[in-house]
């Protein structure tokens, strides 16, 4: 990615409906926190400087970030939004970070939207730069856009004319299927120029990032939109029912991809495979098998039934059933006897 880039990830929300003892962004989708899915997408798009805006139970998020940075990858920063006063307010907390990275482009992401992909982020940046946009909104087209802000485009140029929230939309605008995902590319200097002009003179008394888009449009600067091909890119979770839906979508997609890559899964009952797991061709995964973390399974293995592997390496031709292993190397062609437990899984 030749353009100078950085990212601000909004991760301060409480998520009251989750009724959890932990921050919402640390809720897992297939054993991986939603925040990590988002950070991985940004890093996969070439962004190397990330600033996470923390808030509710910020100590837990900051501890997670400290451990994640030790694992390598992008450089992680964090700032505290002590009181949550809207998305615009959250970005205001990152102003020193933005000023330290002026002159390029800034990606704004929600920390609880795990299905935004590196490919979409990179393509959106390409469109953003090519079209000379001050801001590019990442959007999606939904069959049922209820509850989302609608994207109103100029019919002659295709540029964004407004983002209209559902409660403010007239009948014609309600019929629009293109919605705001809450993810944006901003030209950093343009964002900084209007950040202090966002006002909270609304019924909620909050500062909204959509007002930054409006202010740039009022200055006759280009506001574009990039439509993500995958509508799931906009999905988040406000409660455990929605979190379950995210897990089901991720599970189905990963199983589908593994089978297309040559992994045999004759029955998917109870099979859970994490997003960072790799499996070789002609390996058979049998029911009630859970593979998570950075587990790497070789080719021609038989895994299952009833196996749990966490951060394990399995050589070609190995077989395991009724076993639980953590941080273990299993040799090629090794047969792990039933009811084996290795590690603290």
Nearest in space to 334 (alpha carbons), one of 301, 292, 294: 301
Residue with tokens 């007239």: 170
Nearest in space to 62 (alpha carbons), one of 71, 73, 72, 52: 52
Distance CA 233, CA 120 (A): 9
Distance CA 338, CA 52 (A): 44
* pLDDT value, residue 344: 60
Domain 5-234: give its CATH architecture: Alpha-Beta Complex (3.90)
Count how many Cα atoms sit within 13 Å of the Cα of residue 202 in the half-sphere of its side chain.
14
Q: What does the pLDDT look like over 163-176, one tens digit per residue?
A: 999 999 999 999 99
Look up the pTM and report it: 0.94
Please give the DSSP secondary-structure letter assigned to residue 316: T
Q: What does the pLDDT look like over 67-96, one tens digit per residue?
A: 999 888 889 999 999 999 999 999 999 999
**178 — phi, psi (to 5°)?**
-85, 125
Domain boundaries, the chain: 5-234, 261-342
* pLDDT value, residue 1: 44
Low-confidence ranges of the chain (pLDDT < 70): 1-3, 344-345
- State CA 187 to chain mean position distance: 21
Distance CA 210, CA 214 (A): 6
- How many DSSP H helices and E strands does the chain contain? 9, 24
CATH domain 261-342 topology = UDP N-Acetylglucosamine Acyltransferase; domain 1 (2.160.10)
């Amino acid at each position: 990615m030749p353009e100078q880039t950085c990212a601000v990830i909004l991760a301060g929300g409480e998520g009251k409906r989750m009724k959890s003892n932990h921050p919402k962004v640390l809720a897992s989708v297939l054993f991986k926190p939603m925040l990590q899915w988002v950070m991985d997408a940004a890093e996969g798009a070439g962004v190397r400087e990330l600033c996470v805006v923390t808030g509710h139970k910020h100590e837990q998020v900051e501890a997670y970030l400290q451990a994640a940075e030790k694992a390598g990858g992008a450089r992680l920063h964090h700032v505290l939004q002590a009181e949550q006063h809207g998305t615009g307010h959250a970005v205001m907390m990152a102003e020193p970070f933005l000023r330290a990275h002026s002159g390029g482009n800034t990606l704004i992401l929600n920390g609880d939207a795990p299905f935004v992909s590196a490919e979409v982020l990179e393509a959106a940046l390409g469109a953003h730069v090519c079209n000379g946009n001050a801001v590019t909104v990442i959007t999606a087209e939904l069959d049922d856009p209820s509850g989302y802000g609608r994207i109103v485009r100029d019919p002659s140029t295709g540029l964004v004319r407004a983002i209209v929230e559902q409660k403010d939309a007239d009948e014609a605008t309600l019929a629009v299927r293109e919605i705001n995902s809450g993810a944006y590319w901003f030209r950093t200097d343009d964002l900084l120029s209007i950040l202090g002009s966002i006002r909270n003179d609304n019924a909620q008394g909050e500062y909204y990032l959509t007002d930054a888009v409006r202010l740039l449009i009022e200055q006759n600067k280009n506001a574009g939109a990039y439509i993500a091909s995958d509508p799931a890119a906009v999905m988040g979770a406000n409660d455990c029912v929605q979190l379950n839906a995210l897990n089901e979508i991720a599970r189905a997609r990963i199983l589908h991809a593994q089978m297309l890559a040559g992994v045999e899964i004759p029955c998917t009952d109870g099979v859970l495979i994490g997003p960072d797991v790799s499996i070789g061709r002609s390996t058979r995964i049998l029911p009630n098998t859970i593979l998570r973390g950075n587990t790497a399974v070789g080719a021609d293995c038989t895994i299952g039934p009833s196996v749990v592997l966490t951060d394990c390496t399995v050589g070609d031709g190995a077989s395991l059933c009724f076993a639980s292993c953590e941080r273990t190397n299993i040799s090629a062609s090794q047969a792990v006897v039933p009811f084996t437990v290795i590690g603290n899984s």
